[in-house]
Amino acid sequence: MALLQISEPGLSTAPHQHRLAVGIDLGTTNSLVATVRNSLSVVLPDEHGRSMLPSVVRYLADGSVIVGDAAQSAQSEDPVNTILSVKRFMGRGLADVGDISRLPYRFVDASSCLPTGRQCSTEAASAKHGMVQLRTVAGVKSPVEVSAEILKVLRVRAEASLGGELTGAVITVPAYFDDAQRQATKDAAKLAGINVLRLLNEPTAAAIAYGLDNASEGVYAVYDLGGGTFDISILRLSRGIFEVLAANGDSALGGDDFDQRIHCWLLEKNQLSALNPKDTRLLLTLARAAKEQLTEHNEAHITAVLSNGAVIDNMLTEAEFHTLSQNLIQRTMQPLKRALRDAKLSVDDVKGVVMVGGATRMPQVQQAVGRFFNQTPLTNLDPDKVVALGAAIQANLLAGNRTGDDWLLLDVIPLSLGLETMGGLSEKVIPRNSTIPTARAQEFTTYKDGQTAMSLHVVQGERELVSDCRSLAKFELRGIPPMVAGAARIRVTFQVDADGLLTVAARELTSGVEAAIVVKPSYGLSDAEITRMLQDSTQFAQDDMQARARREQETEARQLMDAVQHAMAQDSDLLDQAQRADIEIQLQNLQDALSSADQQMIKRAIMALNEATVSFAQSRMDKSVKRALAGMNISDLETK
């Protein structure tokens, strides 16, 4: 039975006028995808009605990949091949990860290969640019590849829910992500087949959702404590303008660290030292559960039996947990002070504090933030969903869809960008908290007589020494006319796009020679590596196409069943006993076909149900026409 979407004359949207765009919150603990429907942003659930996708990926020996809840349930059973909190490794080298002994993974340092200093394997040697790798039964995987698996699931979910291919997505990143981490996120999206409309800072996305939902104006602070990162942003909301005044934070602080404190407490209480990966993951899982229980209860009972037979049986009270986590909370206070100082504001200037991220549910966090700002934090929007909702609003706008709200977003770059000068010093060209997109230029000169080339080293960070900043890229300007030292004039221009990604160009003004580089950070992936990964994924293209076709078939079947059942409930009087029995049989056949997940069986069942309802649809149409013409005569119709 054909289904028609009926709208008032002139109010329907032509299909070509609405582009399918989504906002994606690629989180440390959970990830979400949202879109705008009927002018409202909504989170898209999976086929089981679950909106949050655990950011967990499990690799199997046969090369298959499991993502989400099923992978999460295997985290203690297969800890080495089940990757959690991969966001903390994005754009990071082994030295950035910190104490790897507390993690159950087998790390590969791409810059020096294996941490033990042994000979590099072929797989490890192919990992360029210094980003840490993870060795699994399916081979060495980069955080970019792991994140891409999560993004693929979200893309498929969105396309199934929206019924078409996505125009693009806005993907959120922590405000304090540096250029390397942002580029790694964009690489992951490319690998997942997603066109990135923009990378958007998570606190800014939350402010968009909160501001538009509450028609707020004034200065607001967004306190974002997620699973692996912490950000604080100060924004001014005024007549549809969202202006980020300052951003600060810690990209290595989040809810995982609170779990780790409980984990260490358990080790100390039970006099345990080194644990195998399985027991480590088990205790970390129990620690997270205890943390979540203490959000609403005064105590949490932690019990477990380790692989060596040792029994864990401890009671963690709310007061003890507050003591364990106190210095972690204090670590978030310094970025708050710095952000206010950079924005040239005081605590009294802040009208409200928006809480974002699952870790902000902890009472001690809310209490500390309330004391700092002298006001109760705002929690009327779900802290787990608000970032995705805001990203969806931005995506809808960037896709070119008409919206009833006119607003402008002015975001900032979180970390200064500059060049290395003589003596290993960092000369800042674009200072932190500059509004993006932006472009700044600065002139430099030669150091020696007759110098005909210049090496440019692009760095990011707030420290004065290059050794304390993050190296982003190096390139050379050649062909400088030989002059005495200091005579040449080299203009270096930095351009930062709306994603916070950088392009650098250098030009010698007298001769006109120039060089430029699109910065691919040291810990990003090269275009060749992205190409290789895309080629590797083509071997599964056929399987992906079949899975997509099956999902589309299932969606069509469910829509048809709902429509037929609704029609039967409304106009059952139009059916005789034989017709009703035939339709009910075909409905059951279609339900059975859906349970079998056999695409061809589903297709045949759809056709059979359509055939069984043809006469019913005609009868309903006749009934509607008769109702519309009731009480009219020919002259009435002629005047219409």
**CB count in 10 Å sphere of residue 478:** 11
Instruction: Confirm whether 202 is a catalytic residue.
Output: yes
| Euclidean distance between CA atoms 225 and 232, whole angstroms | 9
Residues 6+ apart with CB under 8 A from 38: none
* 430: Cα separation from own chain's centroid: 26
The alpha carbon of residue 73 and the mean position of all alpha carbons in its chain are separated, in whole angstroms, by 22
Residue 419 makes CB contacts below 8 A (sequence gap 6+) with 426, 427, 429, 444, 456, 457, 458, 459, 492
Q: Which of 224, 257, 279, 499 is catalytic?
A: 224
14: which DSSP letter?
P
Calpha distance 128→525 (Å, rounded): 7
C-beta separation of 441 from 492 below 8 A = yes
Query: Looking at 46, 78, 87, 243, which residue is catalytic?
Result: 87
Rounded-to-integer distance, Cα 455 and Cα 477, Å: 6
Can you give the length of the chain in residues?
Answer: 640
Pick the closest to residue 31 from 140, 155, 145 (CA basis). Answer: 155
Neighbours of 230 (CB within 10 A): 26
Catalytic residue among 178, 179, 187, 202: 202
Burial 151-183 (b: 16+ CB within 10 A, else e): bbbbbbbbbbbbeeebbbbbbbbbbbbbbbbbb
Residue among 25, 46, 231, 508 flagged as catalytic: 25
d(C-alpha 482, C-alpha 450), whole Å: 4
Residue ranges in 32-134 assigned as alpha helix (H) = 69-72, 94-97, 122-125
Kindly list the strands in the beta sheet with 352-356, ordered across the sheet, starting from the edge strand earlier in the chain.
352-356, 218-225, 230-238, 241-250, 408-412, 435-436
Residue 25 annotated in active site: yes
- Residue 117: burial class (beta carbons within 10 Å; 0-12, 13-18, 19+): exposed
Answer yes or no: 420 catalytic: no
Question: What whole-number distance in Å separates Cα of residue 618 and Cα of residue 624?
Answer: 10
Tell me if residue 640 is catalytic.
no
* Rg of the chain in Å (alpha carbons): 29
Q: Which residues are catalytic?
A: 25, 87, 202, 224
